Structure 1
Amino acid sequence: MTTGARIEHLVTSGTFSLDGGTWDVDNNVWIVGDDAEAIVIDAAHDAGAIAEALGGRTLRAIVCTHAHNDHIDAAPELAARTGAPILLHGDDLPLWKQTHPDRTPDGELADGQVLRVAGVELTVLHTPGHAPGAVCLYAPALTALFSGDTLFAGGPGATGRSFSHFPTIVDSIRDRLLTLPGETVVHTGHGETTAIAAEAPHLQEWIDRGF
């Protein structure tokens, strides 16, 4: 498929807070689009920096891979600046309300839903485990998976805090992600990119170590 769409990336810094603790974090913000329109995946920490990266493009949606505060803290401000809707899986509304009790998302993401921008289709994959409403976005035309905090270079996302569950994230990764083509590049919520082929051989190691 020929497309003018591209993937852009910026890193924003802030804090992650849950269960009474707070940690400094760097987040990956992904922009998918062309010169005219785009979507933002995970509006983290700095709405101004994200808006600057968008330039004058039309923002079609702010997609939240899950509702931990470090992935959604800048979403309402970015929505106010751009008029774009915030989209979140409904199972993560309890987490969302911890950060934004007075502002609800504008739409719900559902497994199998297809988002379209700049001639590219991104399919929503519900991948619970790190959070109940965690999703990944698969864009085969870009050979890309946007994994949020479900899959990283080196293993699954963390499951040691509230709303998370290790056996569930393993099932999500095994059944929904490792079945994708091996050359698929995994654009993660934090840290470096990886590929499905690089992570697939290690599934049993993760299970044995009980990430």
Structure 2
Amino acid sequence: MTDLFADIRDDQPACEELAEGAVLLRNFFAAEQPDVIAALRTIVKAAPFRHLVTPGGHTMSVAMTNCGRVGWVSDSSGYRYDPVDPDSGKPWPEMPAPFRDLAARAAVQAGFDAFMPDACLINRYKPGAKLSLHQDKDELDLRAPIVSVSLGLPATFLFGGLTRSAPQKRYRLTHGDVVVWGGPARLAYHGVAPLPDGEHPVMGGQRINLTFRKTQ
């Protein structure tokens, strides 16, 4: 079986610069993981994971849900933030304090002060699921960074430039890693390669990604 991470170094520094305005914080929140995971389970019980359909009719391989003031949704009418969960007709679950505190602290570590996210997109990757290269540009306030938290199985994170054709670098993300990008890197293209099979001792056979954003 091919080692998907054969050319990705394991001896990376605890804080690694990916580009101007973008950093990878390795094993950033190990001590806080039980609170974060407990909060995650409460959110998923209230707003279960679902596979969204893109405006072009493609069903996403990544399942997702949301918490916070608004959630990110996709359907035949387009991509958007909405305060109501379309599956339940109710507001999305509130963003729990462990989530908000983790996002704010990671942003400060990356050089972005006073980050107050109002949305957290929660993506679930099962083996084979992937996320194509894209920009996060549905937010009205592009001055605030994106804070992306990894839980569960290792994944290959692709991080490129401001055009889809710009060269990309690959980074191995593991349980507890956080990537923060903003400033000149705010609209960088990024994605996730297909998730390999595996079993994580805490999260099982999946990867969960928490993506914190300030939408307004």
TM-score normalised by L of structure 2: 0.31
Question: By percentage of residues, which structure has more helix?
Answer: 1
Question: By percentage of residues, which structure has more strand?
Answer: 1
TM-score normalised by L of structure 1: 0.31
Higher relative contact order (CA 8 A, sep 6+): 2
